[in-house]
Every structure is written in C-alpha cells, then in structure tokens.
Structure 1
Amino acid sequence: MVFPPETCDVGGVLLLAGLVVALGALVQGAVGFGLALVAAPLLAIIDPALVPVPLLLVTAVHAVLTVAREPRGADWTGVGWALLGRLPGTALGVLAVALLPTRVFLAVVAGVVLVCAALSVVTWRPRPTVPALLVAGLVSGAGGTAASIGGPPVALLYQDRSGVRVRATLGAYFTAGSALSIGALVAGGQVGVDHLTAAAVLLPAMVVGFLASGPARRFVDRGWVRPAVVGVSALGAGVLLVQVAIG
C-alpha cells in the first residue's frame, strides 16, 4: 500500500517523497540522467511501494519531456545501437538476479561504472562507436534491470559531447527503454492501480524539478558537461555500493 495512513504522517511522507523526486528530476533535466539514481534509494526507505514501478513510470514521463524540450539534439543512430545492446543486457540482468547473490551482482555493476568513470578522468576518452554503444547498452540493460543504474554506461560515451547532445540522446534512450520495460511489466501483470496512483502523486513534483532544471542545464553547458556526467555516474555507483554494504 502507498503511504499507509495508519503507520505514518501522510502529508509529511508526501512532501518528503516529492522533494526527493523533484531533486532527481532536476539532476536528470540538467545532466541527462540521475532521477532513478537519486530517488530510488531514498524512496525505497520512505515507502517501498514507490519503487520500482511508480518511479519507472515517472522517469518515462521525464524522458518524454526531455526529448520534447531538445528534440534535435539526440543521436538517434547511437540510441538505436544502444537499445540493440540493451535487449540481451536486460535478459542478462534478469538471469543474474535469478542465479547470483543480489549483493554480488550489484557490486559488480557499481564496480564497472566506477572503473569507467575513473579511467575517463585519467586517460580514457570514450567515443560512441558502434561496439562501444552495444557494450554500453548491454551493461545499461543489466544494471538498469537489477539496480536502476542504467544511465551511466551510455552517458559516459557522450561525456565529451555538448549538454544538448547528452540530454537529448539519453532522453530518447530512456523513452524507448522505459516503454519496453513498462510493456513487459504490463504483460506480466505487474502494473496495478496502486502503482498508477503512486506515479500520479509523484508526477507534479517531477514536473517542478524538470522545470527547475532549465537554469541548471545552462550552467552545466558552460563547460561542466563532462564533470557532471562523470560525477553523477560515480555518485550513482557509490550509492549502490552503500546499499550493498548495508543490505
């Protein structure tokens, strides 16, 4: 049940959950990703019923808004290759969750992201080539399925591109990826009325954060795209490692 009145102050929980989603939406609107990285761990503490389905629905709407705001910036060819890699990656994520200890798999995903982020700071200058996009899509599909950390692998390939390119490309990638995930969940009977209600409750906060990201993205575009992408990627991996440590 979402926000059970008998166990919590509904108004306070609504406000707290809204603030978390608004912050995540601001980060993603400015950098291109980060809503799930910021919001998922905190929402799981506030009310476990808010993740993963309601958050996925809200994230999908954010992705659509991003594409609508900067429609000409997306690398549609790159999106296609990354999505092609995402398909087996999603299956790999499901298989890994079923066969491996969850903490081990989450630690591996976080470790891969941290290593890539560290290498990109020191020597590595990744480019969105076809092989790289396929691998990034695969890692993104696996990590996104098991740990809600699907953005960094693809984002790191575009860290030397403009902010518009990063945001629009990831927005298009998340739009298509979210549609696939939501379709699979609906087909599996895992999306109910409670999920839709929870998503509707969180939606206004997401829109506020998205609108607030307008000034923030202008700041990011002034030479801060690469540090923002690497920093948010490392932050997301760090949060995941903390979850592993305390889980």
Structure 2
Amino acid sequence: MGTVALTYVVPAHNSASAIEPTLRALAGRLAGRDAEVVVVENGSTDGTGDLLERLAAGWDHPGVSLRVLRSAKGMGNAYRAGIAASRGERVVLTADDLPFGFDDLDAADGVDPTVHPVVVGSKGHRDSDVDRGLLRHVLTRGFRLLRRLVLGMRTLDPQGTFVLAGDWARAVGPRLTEPGYLVTTELCFLAERSGVQPLEVPVRLAPAHRGHGSRVTARDVWQMGAGLAGIRRRHGAAVAGGVRGAAAQR
C-alpha cells in the first residue's frame, strides 16, 4: 500500500454512540484529500467493535479509506497501533467525538510540517474558546504546573489533538510506552527533549463538551504525578537527538 496525504487515527473505546457521526463528518471533510481513517477499537464492551465492522463493510467514500484495527484497552495502546499502521504524510491524533471539529486540521494546513512536525490543537492557547468552568480551569493550571515541575515541559496543553508529520510520528511511535491518556504528554516530552517544540494552535471546544463538570479525584492527581515521574524516568536521560535523527533517516 502506498502513501496517502493524511491519516486520521481515532481511538474507539465504548464509542457506539459517537463513532458513526464522527466517521460521517470525517468522510465529508476529507473528501478529495487522498486520506485514510484508522479507527482503533480498544477494549469496548458496548458493541463498538461490531458496529465498526458493519460501517467498514458498507464504507463507500472514494478517496477516503477506512480501516478498523484492535488494540489492548487504552488511548496509548490505540494511538501506537494507529501510528504504526498509518500511511499519511501527516497523521492526526484525535478523539472519537472530534472535540474541536476540524479547527486543528484547518490551522495545521497552513503550517509547514518540515518546520513544525508537531502541531497541537491546544486548549491552552490564548485564542482558544474552551470555557469549561472555574474548577476545571484551576485543575488545568495545576496540572500544567505539575508537568512543568516534573518534566520541565513548555507545551501548555499536551492533551489536545495532534497533527504530526507522518515520518516523525512513525519514528517516535515505537518509543511511546504509556498505555493510557498520558501518551500524548509522553509524545510532547519526547518531542521537546529532541529539540522539536510543539506548535500550539487555537481551537474551539464543541458545544457538547461545554459545561461538563470535572470528575477528577485525589487519586487521579496522584496517578498523574506518578505517571509523569515514570515518563521522566524512562526517557529523561536518553532522548536528545534520537527522535529527530530517526525521522531524518527515513
């Protein structure tokens, strides 16, 4: 199979209510772009896998192919599988409900991927429209400080959506070890340590995501701290130059 211009990687865990409208939106938006959508079902118990098989069997969108993969449960496991299978000159990592619509892609279309191989649809950008309440704002600031203290991270929102240079993504993919949501923080850490500063672009949060109260617990905060420490332990001393060099050889 040859390369395509763009790969969308969509993790799907218990996504039966969201994935079909997302695939319709992707088919419409990517028409004529020589694109592929790679959906990675991971540990669903709500029939998502069966639904994806039916959707794939009836897929009829010339110029936009659909592949369905499976991985162990977890966003990190799904993203690794999707990146490894990707063929795109650029690779988009998003969620099963497209939280920012296509703001991230629209912004990245104006960015040279050889200059900025990592573009982040960032809730931390000053021009983003992502009002989600005072408590979530305070927690976001706290997590940002924690990442800064533990990892020295400059990226404001490493848990946004990503538009990556394809070769860069496939070079860094095998280094990713986080099984869950911290995988994109790990990706940003690897980028920064190799001299690639992610470019954060503004996004607008979809209406369905607004007003959601935070469900973060003290246990979640502890787990994030432990996860960040694990990322630093695994990658802190041996990253510089490795990812950039691997991508340059491809």
**Structure 1 length-normalised TM:** 0.27
**Structure with the larger strand share:** 2
Structure with the bigger RCO (C-alpha within 8 Å, sep 6+) is 1
